[in-house]
A = this chain, B = another copy of it.
Amino acid sequence: MTHIAIIGAGLIGRGWAFVFARAGTEVRVWDPQPAVLDRLPDDIAGMVEQTAPFGQAGTDPEATAARIRAVTTPEEALDGAALAQESGPEVLDTKRALFARLDAIAAPETILASSSSALMASRFAGELPGRARCLVGHPVNPPHLVPVVEIAPAPFTDPAVTERARAIYAAAGQVPVVLQREIDGFILNRLQAVVLAESLRLIEQGYVDVRGLDDTIRHGLGRRWAFMGPMETINLNAPGGAGDYLTRYGAMMAGLAQGAAREEAFTPAVAAIVGAAFADVSAPETVRARQNWRDAELAALAQHLAARAQHDNAQE
C-alpha cells in the first residue's frame, strides 16, 4: 500500500498515525501548528512505551515509530497518499475550509476521510469538486486502542471509495462499520447520547449516585458489551433467541424506553453533581494522569480480547 497522510496531529491524529504504522504502512503527518509537529517524535515514543508491553505496538515497536514522519506542508503529506485522515477540530467552518484545501491539493485517487465524531460529510464536503472521494471515518479516542471505525459515506460518495476505505481500515487491523445511510452522530454517539441522557436524569432525580451509575455499567452491562453487542446479548437472553426475547420482554423494555429522558436531562444542575463526583480528577494534569490509566487498561483489554479470539478460533 502507498502511504497514509494524517492531517492534524492531536490525540486522534497521533492515534491514527500509530494504527497505520503499527500495521506496516508509512505515515506522513502534517499539522498547521509547528509546535505540535515538533513534539510528535516524543509523543509517539510515549505511545510505544505504553502499548508495547501489551503487544499493541506492532511486531517491531521501533519500526512502528520509524514509519511515522512529520512533514511541514499538506502537499508533502498528500502527495501519493492512498488515504488522508483529517483529525482537525470538530467545528463545521474549520472542517469545511480544511476539506476545501485538501480537495484542491490531493490527487483524485486519494481518499479524504474525516475523523468527525458527529458531523456528516454532506455538511462539509458537499460543495467540493472532489466530493465523491470524501467520507467520514469516525474513530474512538484513542484509535490505536479502540478498534471500531464508523465509515459514513454521504449520498455523493462513490461506493468504490467507501469500499476502498473499508479495506484500508480493515487491513490496518481496525473494525470498520459501514453506515448504509447518513445520520448525525452516526451510531456510536447516538447510543452514547441516550445512555448519557438517561444516566444524567437518574442521577439528578436522586435514584442513584454517580458512582452507583458507573458501577451498574462497569460491573454489569459493560461485562458483556466488551465482547458482544446488545443484539447478541438479547439473542442469548431467551431460549429461542432474539425473536423470543422481544416477544417475552419487548413490551417491558419498550415501557422503560418510553419513560426515558431526552435533551432535558442535560442540565447545569446535573453537570455540577457529576463534576463534584470527580472533583479529584478535574484539573488537566489529573485528568491526563487518569487518561494514561485508561489507556493502559484499554491496551491490556485489547491484549486479553485478542488472546481470547485466538483461543476461540483455535477451538473451531
Contacts and interface: CB of A to CB of B under 8 A. Distances in A.
A223 B143 CA distance: 12
B197 A253 contact: yes
Task: Tell me what chain A mostly uses at the interface: helix, strand, loop, or mixed.
Answer: helix
A178 B217 CA distance: 14
Interface residues of A, number: 112
Contact of A214 (B228, B251, B262, B283): B228
A224 to B, nearest CB: 7
A252 interface: yes
A271 B246 contact: yes
Nearest to A280: B241
Given A243-B271, A263-B254, A298-B224, A230 B194 contact: no
B222 A251 contact: no
Q: Which of A177, A216, A228, A240 has the most CB of B within 10 A?
A: A216
B242 A282 contact: yes
A260 B197 contact: yes
Contact of A239 (B146, B183, B284): B284
A313 interface: no
Interface in A207-258: 207-210, 212-232, 234-244, 246-247, 250-258
Contacts of A310: none
A163 to B, nearest CB: 15
Nearest to A193: B256
B150 A240 contact: no
A310 to B, nearest CB: 12
Interface stretch (A29-37, A39-47, A289-297): A289-297
A100 interface: no
Interface of A: 118, 140-141, 145-148, 150, 175, 177-181, 183-185, 187-199, 202-203, 205-210, 212-232, 234-244, 246-247, 250-258, 260-266, 271-272, 274-275, 277-278, 281-284, 287-288, 290-291, 293-294, 297-298, 300-302, 304, 308, 312
Given A187-B202, A195-B195, 12 more contacts: A181-B206, A181-B207, A193-B256, A193-B260, A195-B230, A197-B257, A222-B229, A235-B281, A239-B287, A242-B271, A243-B272, A246-B274
